[in-house]
Amino acid sequence: MKLNGIPLPAVKRLSLYLRQLELLQAGGQKRVSSRQLGESLGVTDAQVRKDFAYFGQFGHPGVGYQVDPLIQRLRHILGTDKVWNVLVVGAGNLGRALLQYKGFVQKGFRLVAAFDADASKAGQFVGGVPVFPMDEMERMALQFHIRLAIIAVPADSAQAVADRLAAIGIQGVLNFAPIPLPPTPTLAVNAVDLAVQLEQLSFQVNLLDQEQPAQ
Amino acid sequence: MKLNGIPLPAVKRLSLYLRQLELLQAGGQKRVSSRQLGESLGVTDAQVRKDFAYFGQFGHPGVGYQVDPLIQRLRHILGTDKVWNVLVVGAGNLGRALLQYKGFVQKGFRLVAAFDADASKAGQFVGGVPVFPMDEMERMALQFHIRLAIIAVPADSAQAVADRLAAIGIQGVLNFAPIPLPPTPTLAVNAVDLAVQLEQLSFQVNLLDQEQPAQ
DNA sequence: GGATGTGAATGCATTCACAGCA
DNA sequence: TGCTGTGAATGCATTCACATCC
């Protein structure tokens, strides 16, 4: 199995396939074809098969894919067949919402501790997760073998937080601060900028208007 | 100016250029080169110039780009040179966090009303935004000329909400529900799945491990 | 010298089309 | 017949390299 040469877009789609398969599984479906799996996601059947092919053989010609084992294999590829403990840095509005979000656990992510620069928040529980002062970060990270963290602090402190997390040995951060955090050879970074998402939508909507002028 | 033939990745980068330029502007910088603009974002100088070229001429050979006018033009292209009023459907944890998020306004997005299936939430204000029962959606949409909405409801009601928004004349939705919402010719969709973002990070971190095995 | 704008060349991702299997 | 897996072909995005201008 080749380790690299995998298109990044394919990895992104893998997550969507998995999500869709979990829906099918919940609906009791046992088998699925590449066509069926793709069309709910706006992806061609060839694309689905090619994406899987980067990682090995998954299906049975003439039959399709068995839902349950396919889910297992995708989870293994994505690394979510075991639980990841995750830190949340920043217990403001966004951080608090993430701490209360129920969708992470069933995907294999457990938010185990939150940190905030405002020491008066220490001792609180948000969504069942304890909030600590910043200087407890290293201790907690080591204790729970943490490798992932979510950054939900203001833009002006995001880089400092990232540096600190890297120093502690964190390997991946999901960055919600609206500022670029450059990845390093030992720190993977994935960014979500909420305002940018709306901005993209704004562009798309303007395009729609130009194609079919307002009625 | 050609209307299409624009790579979607280029549009995404445009938002990041804009964000970076706003940072430079806040720091008092007046001019910037494609190289300087790109390197903070991990993008080559040629890429920056090519991205701009899809939309026209922006700079001065030998000189670079003027920060202020470039910002104006990017905002115009992205459609954020005027304010968009936005609805938020779903006032649970995530919806409430979005309603309190301060980053939207300075980007030209004003969240003007929230809606929740739980009618007992009606009358509340979250982040200064009033919460209404669902059946007020159409009235508010017309009154404020709304074209964009954020979906922050559970997966099982997301499609119904999207259909309703489309019927009301909404043209773009930002979907936070972990389920695919297919776009239509009159409704643009942009999706953010928080768990999927962590999943992608999980994959990337596992890759790092394989390149440089744990110390 | 230092920078943009842009055709040409490259490289990457998607789609096609079909051999092979159930 | 129905469907996967996959080399080949296509198409799209990025990078190169250079003419042009300050």
B24-40 pLDDT tens trace: 999 999 999 999 999 99
Residue B61 distance to chain A (closest CA, Å): 27
Residue closest to D22 C1′ by Cα: B62
Give me the pLDDT at residue A2, please: 45
CB pairs under 8 A between A and B: 204
**Residues of B with Cβ-Cβ distance to A78 under 8 angstroms:** 199-200, 202-203
Give me the pLDDT at residue A211, please: 77
Whether A17 contacts A51, CB under 8 Å: yes
pLDDT band at A210 (very low <50, low <70, confident <90, very high): confident
Q: What are the tokens at A182?
A: 């450059």
Q: pLDDT tens, B157-180?
A: 999 999 999 999 999 999 999 999
Residue closest to D19 C1′ by Cα: B61
Residue closest to C21 C1′ by Cα: A61
Residue A32 distance to chain B (closest CA, Å): 17
Q: How far is CA B162 from the centre of its chain?
A: 17
Task: Collect all residues with Cβ–Cβ distance below 8 Å to B9 and sequence separation of at least 6.
Answer: none
Give me the pLDDT at residue A215, please: 52
Give me the pLDDT at residue B214, please: 62
CB-based burial, A42-60: b 16+ in 10 Å, e otherwise: ebeeebbbebbeebeebbe
Q: pLDDT tens, A21-59?
A: 999 999 999 999 999 999 999 999 999 999 999 999 999
pLDDT band at A1 (very low <50, low <70, confident <90, very high): very low
Query: Is residue A3 pLDDT above 60, yes or no?
Result: no
Residue B83 distance to chain A (closest CA, Å): 10
CB-based burial, B54-92: b 16+ in 10 Å, e otherwise: ebeebbeeeebbebeebbebbbebbbbeeebbbbbbbbb
Is B174 in contact with A197 (Cβ distance < 8 A)? yes
Indicate the average pLDDT of chain A. 96
**Residues of A with Cβ-Cβ distance to B96 under 8 angstroms:** 93, 97
Q: Which nucleotide is at minimal CA–C1' distance from B61?
A: C4
Q: What are the tokens at B130?
A: 């009033």
Q: Does nucleic acid strand C have an atom less than 7 angstroms from the CB of A44?
A: yes
Give the distance, in angstroms, between residue A33 CA and nucleotide D12 C1': 27
Query: Is residue B215 pLDDT above 70, yes or no?
Result: no
How many Å apart are CA B83 and CA A198, to the nearest integer? Answer: 12
* Greatest Cα pair distance in chain B: 62
Query: Is residue B5 pLDDT above 90, yes or no?
Result: no
Q: Which nucleotide is at minimal CA–C1' distance from B52?
A: C5
Is B174 in contact with A201 (Cβ distance < 8 A)? yes
Give me the pLDDT at residue A105, please: 97
Which of A204, A176, A142 is CA-nearest to residue B192? A176
Q: Choose the weakest-confidence range: A120-129, B141-150, B156-165, B203-212.
A: B203-212
CB-closest option in B18, B183, B198 to A174: B198
Give the distance, in angstroms, between residue A79 CA and nucleotide D4 C1': 25
Whether A169 contacts B214, CB under 8 Å: no
Residue A18 distance to chain B (closest CA, Å): 10
Q: Does nucleic acid strand D have an atom less than 7 angstroms from the CB of B157?
A: no
Residue closest to D4 C1′ by Cα: A61
Give me the pLDDT at residue B211, please: 77
Is B179 in contact with A23 (Cβ distance < 8 A)? yes
Is B147 in contact with A205 (Cβ distance < 8 A)? yes
Indicate the average pLDDT of chain B. 96
Q: Does nucleic acid strand C have an atom less than 7 angstroms from the CB of A8?
A: yes
Q: pLDDT tens, B65-116?
A: 999 999 999 999 999 999 999 999 999 999 999 999 999 999 999 999 999 9
Task: Collect all residues with Cβ–Cβ distance below 8 Å to A31 and sequence separation of at least 6.
Answer: A63, A64, A65, A66, A67
Give me the pLDDT at residue B1, please: 39
Query: Is residue B3 pLDDT above 80, yes or no?
Result: no
pLDDT band at A4 (very low <50, low <70, confident <90, very high): confident
Give the distance, in angstroms, between residue A17 CA and nucleotide C7 C1': 39
pLDDT band at B23 (very low <50, low <70, confident <90, very high): very high
Answer whether 0.75 is exceeded by the pTM: yes
Number of CB atoms found within 10 A of residue A143's CB = 12
Is A172 in contact with B210 (Cβ distance < 8 A)? no
